[in-house]
Amino acid sequence: MRKRKYYLYLTAEERRHIFNALLAFRNKLIAQGRYTDVVDEVMIKFAK
């Protein structure tokens, strides 16, 4: 069974808000001393 793909069409402003939220979450994890690997991967995929 194949996974269904979903596509989001976002404006530049919406993309900026999401990226800033991911960055804030990443900074929060760093401050707590936790791993940020998953957030880093999402940020890389989102930036493409």
Between 6 and 34, name the one with better pLDDT. Answer: 34
The tokens of 14 are what? Answer: 């919406």
Q: Report pLDDT for 9.
A: 92
pLDDT higher than threshold 90 for residue 2:
no
What is the chain's alpha carbon radius of gyration, rounded to the nearest angstrom? Answer: 13
Rounded to whole angstroms, the Cα distance separating 4 from 17 reads: 26
* Angle subtended at Cα 34 by Cα 48 and Cα 3, rounded to the nearest 5 degrees: 45
* Angle subtended at Cα 6 by Cα 10 and Cα 44, rounded to the nearest 5 degrees: 65
For 7-47, the pLDDT digits (tens) are 889 999 999 999 999 999 999 999 999 999 999 999 998 88
